[in-house]
């Protein structure tokens, strides 16, 4: 009997689930953002905080009356980095009339590019997806709106140059996860090496990177002037731990935007002091925008998650991206107040974001129809044992090399006949 009860229950549950699908918002004044993200697989390390930041910012905008009387609806689901699930979520978003999709996953973003372009839905690929999507002419509906990995590599190299005066004859070790994402910066690093006279030595480690004990003794023996490690999630903490164990001076070790406070907790806050990361936006709770969120959303108890996470690096990335999206909506209303509210309408708004600073949270960002990267500005921050302290102001560098790489890549994309 038990067996039959289970089967009946499972069957009934399966059928029952089909019903709530299309009950979503009728024709109220709502702008729908779809945020299918990876909460349970590869991107777990960032998604919880990133999504929390996005939702808190959108709650704040809505609490203040929305944009032009329109409420913003953030539809958050889990795609677990699995393509069929992501495609289902994308099709659902499209059917429900979402204006943009933010999948926060490189494989998903890459797979969605042809569909989003054909369907004229804005695809946000912050810190993920194709780096060459910065070229708005080739990818009109794909918006990184954040410094891509080529820019990030270029900025790090420029920071090394600022520190050492000249990089001629220096040696830079690049420790990276052995995936297309990890190998991405290599062409830019090599181009800069040829230009500025330093040498790059690449050390790939196998994904997911929980065991790098064979890599770092080699890095140590190479006696590098600077070390850049490139990975995400568990690979980052292990890389940093191994660097400490091999006695590599922390103030010569750097990484991309993928380092957070919880990584530092795992490595040991004091031990990691000195390590360098890139900040696409300010971290901590001091920026005015974060203070506003705390006042209007967190303190009344309407926050989307753990209060302790407010103001962490990845939380602020979420706020940054949500702020850019909402700014796009604002601009779209300025350009065409009466709509029709659809993908191309928001596209026009997003491409007219100019010198947007999110009240000091992010560098001045200008998105145009040609540049979807937003200018490629970042700042360098050092972990001081308790927080990431900015070491430079917002700056941009080596964009010529980056754009040469972008053009090379988009040319290949166009040649492949779409």
Partner 1 sequence: MDSALLLELSINGACTGMMYALVAAGIVLIYKTSGVANLAQGALAMTGAYVAWIASTLVGLPMWIGAPLAALVMFGVGALIERLAMRRMIGQPLIMAIMLTMGLEIMLRGVMPGLLGGTVKKIDIGIPNAPIIAGDILINRTLLIGGGVSFAMIVASILFFNSRLGVVMRAVSDDQTASWSVGIRVERAIAVAWGLSAVMATTAGLLWGATQGVDWSLSLLLVKALAIAILGGLDSLPGVLIAGVAVGVIESLATGIIDPVIGGGSREVVASAIILATLLVRPHGLLGREHIERV
Partner 2 sequence: MFYRRAGIRHTSYRSERRLWPLPFDRGLVAAVVVLLLVAPLVVERLYLIGYLMPWIIWSTAALGLNFLMGGAGQIHLGYGAIIAIGAYASTHLARAGVPFEIAALGGGLASAVIGSAFGATALRVKGLYLAMATLAMQSVVDFLITHVPWISGGGQATLTVPPARFLGADLRVDLAAYYVALSVCAVVTLFVLNVGRSSFGRALAAVREKDYAAAVIGVDPFRYKLLAFWVSSFIGGVAGAVLAFCYYRAISPDQFHLDLSIQLVAMVIVGGLGSVLGPFFGAALILFAPILLNQAVGALAAAFGLGISADLRAHLPLVLYGALIMGFLLAEPLGLAKIYDNVRKYFLVWPFRHAPR
Report if residue 213 touches partner 1, rule: CB under 8 A: yes
Q: Identify the burial level of 385 via C-beta atoms within 10 angstroms of its C-beta, where 0-12 means exposed, 13-18 middle and 19 or more buried.
A: middle
Out of 29, 64, 245, 307, point to the residue binding partner 1 (CB under 8 A).
245
Q: Is-contact 140 348, C-beta < 8 A?
A: no
What span, in angstroms and rounded, lies between the C-alpha atoms of 299 and 389?
A: 26
Q: Give the sheet arrangement for strand 100-101, strand by strand.
A: 71-78, 30-37, 100-101, 122-124, 142-143
Report if residue 395 touches partner 2, rule: CB under 8 A: no
CB 152, min distance to partner 2, A: 15
CB 186, min distance to partner 2, A: 8
Q: Quick one: which segment of 160-168, 190-198, 299-307, 347-355 binds partner 2 (CB under 8 A)?
A: 299-307
Out of 214, 386, 389, 412, point to the residue binding partner 1 (CB under 8 A).
214
Strands (E), 127-251: 142-143, 171-177, 199-205, 226-230
- If you search the block for the tokens 């070491």, which residue do you land on? 391
Nearer to partner 2, 288 or 408 (CB): 408
Nearer to partner 2, 111 or 348 (CB): 111
Report if residue 263 touches partner 1, rule: CB under 8 A: yes
Cβ burial 302-324 (10 Å sphere, 16+ → b, else e):
ebbbeeebbbbbbbbbbbbbbbb
Q: Is-contact 361 289, C-beta < 8 A?
A: yes
Nearer to partner 1, 215 or 293 (CB): 215
Out of 122, 125, 131, 260, point to the residue binding partner 2 (CB under 8 A).
131
What span, in angstroms and rounded, lies between the C-alpha atoms of 126 and 145?
A: 6
CB 232, min distance to partner 1, A: 11
Out of 221, 340, 355, 416, point to the residue binding partner 1 (CB under 8 A).
221
Q: How many CB atoms lie within 10 A of CB 164?
A: 13
Give the pair of three-digit tokens for residue 60. Answer: 């704040």
Among positions 38-67, residues that touch partner 2 (CB under 8 A) are 39-40, 48, 51-52
CB 211, min distance to partner 1, A: 6
Among positions 372-411, residues that touch partner 1 (CB under 8 A) are none
Helix, strand, coil percent content, the chain, rounded in steps of 5: 45, 15, 40
Report if residue 45 touches partner 1, rule: CB under 8 A: yes
Report if residue 409 touches partner 2, rule: CB under 8 A: yes
| Measured CA distances, 89 to 9, 46, 116 (Å) | 26, 20, 13
Report if residue 390 touches partner 2, rule: CB under 8 A: no
Out of 20, 165, 247, 301, point to the residue binding partner 1 (CB under 8 A).
247
Residue whose C-alpha is closest to residue 350's, from 336, 338, 361, 363: 336
Q: Is-contact 236 253, C-beta < 8 A?
A: no
Out of 24, 30, 44, 111, point to the residue binding partner 1 (CB under 8 A).
44
Report if residue 389 touches partner 2, rule: CB under 8 A: no
CB 180, min distance to partner 1, A: 12
| CA–centroid distance for 252 within its chain | 24
Report if residue 184 touches partner 1, rule: CB under 8 A: no
Number of residues that bind partner 2 (CB under 8 A): 54
Q: Is-contact 337 343, C-beta < 8 A?
A: no
What span, in angstroms and rounded, lies between the C-alpha atoms of 361 and 377?
A: 13
What span, in angstroms and rounded, lies between the C-alpha atoms of 294 and 305?
A: 12
Q: Quick one: which segment of 73-81, 166-174, 255-263, 288-296 binds partner 2 (CB under 8 A)?
A: 73-81
Q: Quick one: which segment of 165-173, 288-296, 300-308, 363-371 binds partner 2 (CB under 8 A)?
A: 300-308
239 in the Ramachandran plot: left (φ > 0), alpha (ψ -120 to 50) or beta?
Answer: alpha
3-state SS class at 233: coil
What span, in angstroms and rounded, lies between the C-alpha atoms of 352 and 328?
A: 7
Report if residue 307 touches partner 1, rule: CB under 8 A: no
- The residues of the shown chain that bind partner 2, judged by CB under 8 A, are 3, 6-7, 10, 13-14, 16-18, 20-21, 39-40, 48, 51-52, 77-78, 80, 82-85, 87-89, 91-92, 94-95, 107, 110-111, 113-115, 130-132, 178-180, 183-184, 187, 304-306, 409, 412-413, 416-418
- The residues of the shown chain that bind partner 1, judged by CB under 8 A, are 39-41, 44-45, 47-49, 178, 202-206, 208, 210-211, 213-215, 217-218, 220-221, 233-234, 237-238, 241-242, 244-247, 262-263, 265-266, 268, 271, 306, 309
């Amino acid at each position: 009997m038990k067996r039959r009860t289970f089967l009946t229950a499972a069957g009934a549950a399966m059928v029952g689930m089909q019903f709530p699908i299309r009950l979503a918002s009728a024709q109220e004044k709502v702008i729908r953002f779809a945020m299918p993200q990876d909460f349970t697989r590869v991107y777990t390390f960032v998604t919880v905080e990133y999504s929390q930041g996005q939702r808190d910012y959108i709650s704040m905008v809505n609490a203040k009356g929305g944009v032009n009387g329109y409420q913003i609806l953030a539809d958050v689901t889990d795609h677990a980095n699995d393509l069929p699930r992501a495609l289902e979520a994308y099709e659902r978003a499209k059917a429900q009339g979402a204006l943009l999709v933010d999948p926060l996953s490189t494989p998903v973003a890459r797979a969605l590019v042809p569909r989003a372009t054909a369907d004229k839905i804005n695809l946000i690929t912050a810190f993920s997806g194709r780096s060459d999507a910065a070229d708005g002419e080739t990818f009109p509906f794909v918006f990184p709106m954040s410094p891509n990995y080529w820019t990030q590599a270029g900025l790090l190299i420029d920071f090394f140059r600022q520190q050492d005066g000249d990089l001629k004859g220096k040696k830079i070790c690049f420790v990276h996860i052995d995936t297309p994402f990890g190998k991405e910066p290599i062409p830019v690093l090599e181009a800069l090496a040829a230009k500025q006279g330093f040498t790059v030595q690449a050390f790939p480690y196998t994904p997911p990177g929980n065991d790098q004990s064979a890599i770092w003794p080699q890095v140590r023996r190479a006696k590098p002037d600077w070390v850049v490690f490139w990975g995400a999630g568990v690979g980052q903490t292990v890389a940093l731990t191994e660097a400490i164990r091999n006695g590599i001076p922390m103030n010569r070790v750097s990484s991309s935007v993928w380092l957070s406070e919880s990584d530092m907790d795992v490595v040991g806050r004091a031990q990691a002091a000195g390590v360098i990361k890139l900040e696409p936006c300010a971290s901590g709770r001091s920026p005015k925008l974060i203070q506003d969120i705390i006042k209007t959303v967190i303190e009344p108890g309407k926050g989307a998650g753990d209060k302790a996470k407010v103001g962490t690096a990845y939380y602020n990335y979420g706020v940054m991206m949500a702020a850019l999206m909402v700014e796009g909506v604002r601009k779209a209303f300025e350009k065409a107040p009466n709509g029709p509210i659809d993908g191309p309408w928001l596209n026009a708004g997003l491409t007219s974001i100019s010198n947007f600073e999110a009240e000091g949270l992010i560098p001045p960002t200008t998105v145009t129809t040609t540049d979807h990267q937003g200018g490629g500005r970042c700042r360098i921050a050092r972990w001081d044992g308790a927080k990431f302290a900015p070491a430079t102001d917002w700056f941009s560098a080596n964009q010529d090399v980056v754009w040469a790489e972008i053009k090379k890549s988009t040319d290949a994309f166009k040649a492949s006949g779409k």
